[in-house]
Amino acid sequence: MDTPTNFEDSRELSEAVLISQRIIPYLRGMGYRYINSEVKVHSASSSPTADVVVYLDEAKSHPYIIVEIKQKLSNEIELLDPVVQTTFVKATAIGKQVRYLLITDGQKHFWFERSSEGRSIVQLSRAPENLPGSQSTLLEVPLITVEDPQQFSKLMYLSLDSLRQDGMDFGIRMGIELNRVLIAKLQDERVIQTGGPRRFRASNLSNHQIKANIAQLYKEAFINLDGKPIEEKPWFFSPHALSNIVKILEPYALLPVTDSIRGHLFWQMFAEFMRMNETGFTTPVPLADFLVRLTQLREGQRIIDPACGTGLLLIVALEIIKAQVATNHLSSQDNPSLQKKPQYVIAGIEIEAEVAELAATNLVLNGISPSAVINANALDKHNLRYSGVQLSTYDTVLLHPPMGLAPKNENILSQYEIIGNNKRPTLEMLFIELAIDLLRPGGLLVSLVPDSFLSSPSYQSARSWLLQRTLPRAIISLPPETLMPIGHSGKTTVLLLEKKNIQQNHQDRVLIADVQSVGYNRFGQPTGENVLPDLLESFETYCKRGDIENSFSNEKIRVWTTSTNDLSSKRLDIGQFDPTSTDLVYTLKHGQYPFVKLNEIVNIIGGRNFKYVEYAANTAIVIQAGAVRDLTLDLLNAPSISVKDFDNAKNAHVEFGDILVTTTGAYLGRACVFDKKDLRAVASGSVTILRPQFRDDIDPFFLTSIINSKLGKDQIFQLQAASASQPYIRRADLGAITIPLPPLSKQKELAQRIKVLLTEAQDLVRRAQEIETEAKKLIVDELLGVNNNE
């Protein structure tokens, strides 16, 4: 039989663990019911925090004991000790009702009593007597209500830390097991509310008894939602690890924590404890919310996600339906559409068994039957009906498909028309066709797709198939950093498609949007600039009134519409429909200077990838994409290659007067002139060299300025393609860019004016940096009392 965990040294425990596992049980044992942790204390000069406050009433309006927790206390403590004085100050700030002070490290308890006026304290030799009529039975003590998202987050991270210390490996299994424990905890609280016994507890129980209780609660929760017992799978957590988590969560009531808080915390933690190759099974929460809301769900619709991963899109869909019910003052009893079995309203298919299990537990935590998740290969249409999924029956399909080449399985591939003669079909192609097959006529599909699906000549036949069967309602381009919170980069686009009726082929309008900010930078860090809610509001207005309001406060988003008659299978990426770039090119083409293609005046030379060496006198530098700025070149951190590799890469050599253009990655479209005469350099694989064919007719800086202008940037944007990971432009497409070519004298005149402006801009930046430095120094000097006039 396992013995209860004995914490020998409280220094190994965090303050939160001390509170939950030592201090609160100690106070409850004395009969106190009403306890709060981390209570803000407002005083005249500051707002400190009291670790624990004990109250005399349920409303928590009469504070009685204030507790200060320290990691390690000496065997003796005096009234003049700083910790005693600090606690006394906090007690005074709370008010005269605070009668007792407790200073503890979880093992030693030092009690003090305040005078009736609250102006002095005396030390007690023992704990004060229990209150009259207090309850000492732990099971009768109310749980501490948790509603604050930060408090819930803290408990979850404490659980993770406990598992780390127990040697648990992180991964999808970890998410499943944590969900299981939470499901059991919530089920226990529901049982207590109906007068049943408390089973989610650790006191006086062995680790194996604790595990058996949790497993039974988990099974009951599934039965309550689905009406049938689940096939219990083995638990990954050891009894010891499970017991530690129960000890952390046991004192708290988690039912008041909303589904939204629980769910959003899970996806916040998901990337932290998942292995990198597993993060592709979910979608960033803000993007998931945007995708689902774009479909404008209504009550009673049949919704399916054929690549559901962790189930986030389905959970967001249910949240929206619940919100509609609340808005319309309907209850689930009065709404027949919500009384159907959940799998007939919401369904998800996931091929990976472990991921499907994780999705099922996520759904249970949000009040959805686990049977809504089907563990099957969705791409096998023949077997879908055996899983209860019928084609042509769903109102809405939500899709964030896996991306990459489809497996070479002829039994699967033979079921799909969209691939045509394509010898390298992709997973997103197959899922797009499957999604359209699942829809009823008039149903809506919202899906993420890589930009290559919309722009690559290889997929033109797939786009033709798509336009024959659907009416695009929106094409929304997202920035490369959209998926960085889950560890992926690359240009993606949102498609909103309506499945055609048989005779439906009339002219209509399509909303086009260019989104430049989704709230994250290229490192996946929050920026606070998420324009997706603005776009959603604009789309809803467009659906109601048929027009677009461009009343956005920044340049992070552009929205316009085009006719469905203008859509072509040749390309469907949004650059094809940008009215501003079309107007500019038209105006310039009919201007005073001739228009030429770039490949008519320059040789286009691709860079190479190299093996780097440590910098030395006999090495050469590699110009990477990050070194190429708009009109300037930054070689400060340029890597080096050996002279031997330099000599063997003559085609990638960079010469004085060459124009360098970034043609791959997040810096796509930057250009600068290489103006170093005595520097050996080569271009990396992400940089393309433009070498004027007739140097007497072309000013390199003028040509660079054209490429960096709106004219050049817009054309590169229109012609860019995308791999599964990042945007790029083919050298042949780069050569097709058209530019105005004035006489050389005019080129030089414009180039000189731009150089002057660039120099002024650089001087202003330097001066701004100097002023900032002076400002920082000024404040320090003032505080130190330095007299600058001396």
Give residue 582's pLDDT: 56
List, for residues 742-762, the tens digit of each pLDDT value: 899 999 998 899 889 888 888
Distance separating alpha carbons of residues 557 and 553, to the nearest angstrom: 9
Give residue 338's pLDDT: 46
List, for residues 489-520, the tens digit of each pLDDT value: 677 899 999 999 866 556 688 999 988 888 87
Give residue 674's pLDDT: 95
Give residue 144's pLDDT: 82
CA angle 111, 115, 119 (to 5 degrees): 105
Q: State the Cα torsion 177-178-180-186 to the nearest 10°.
A: 170
272 vs 449, which has greater pLDDT? Answer: 449
Say if CB 258 and CB 366 are below 8 A apart: no
Give residue 447's pLDDT: 95
Average pLDDT over residues 264-290: 67
List, for residues 306-334, the tens digit of each pLDDT value: 999 889 899 889 888 877 766 554 444 44
Distance separating alpha carbons of residues 106 and 108, to the nearest angstrom: 6
Question: What does the mean pLDDT of the chain come to?
Answer: 81
Q: How confident is the model at residue 141 (pLDDT cuts 50, 70, 90)?
A: low
Give residue 785's pLDDT: 65
Q: Which CATH class is domain 595-742?
A: alpha beta
Give residue 10's pLDDT: 40
587 vs 556, which has greater pLDDT? Answer: 556
Token digits of residue 484: 């960085």
Token digits of residue 326: 């609340």
3-state secondary structure of 772: helix
Q: Does domain 10-142 correspond to CATH entry 3.30.70.260?
A: no
Q: State the Cα torsion 476-481-483-488 to the nearest 10°.
A: 130
Give residue 618's pLDDT: 86
Give residue 73's pLDDT: 85
Tell me the CATH number for domain 266-576.
3.40.50.150
Q: How confident is the model at residue 400 (pLDDT cuts 50, 70, 90)?
A: very high
List, for residues 648-696, the tens digit of each pLDDT value: 999 999 999 999 999 887 778 899 999 998 899 999 999 999 999 887 8
* E strand residue ranges, 566-644: 595-597, 602-606, 620-623, 640-641
List, for residues 23-64, the tens digit of each pLDDT value: 888 888 777 888 888 888 876 556 688 889 998 877 788 888
What is the number of alpha carbons within 13 Å of residue 190 lying toward its C-beta? 12
- The residues that bridge with 109 in the sheet, in sequence order, are 104
Residue 112: is its pLDDT beyond 50? yes
Give residue 476's pLDDT: 93
Closest CA to 470 of 554, 380, 572, 549: 572
Residue 789: is its pLDDT beyond 70? no
Residue 223: is its pLDDT beyond 90? no
Give residue 442's pLDDT: 93
Say if CB 761 and CB 631 are below 8 A apart: no
236 vs 273, which has greater pLDDT? Answer: 236
Say if CB 431 and CB 401 are below 8 A apart: yes
Give residue 107's pLDDT: 84
Average pLDDT over residues 250-257: 85
- The residues that bridge with 653 in the sheet, in sequence order, are 682
Give residue 140's pLDDT: 45
The residues near 86 (Cβ < 8 Å, ≥ 6 apart) are 68
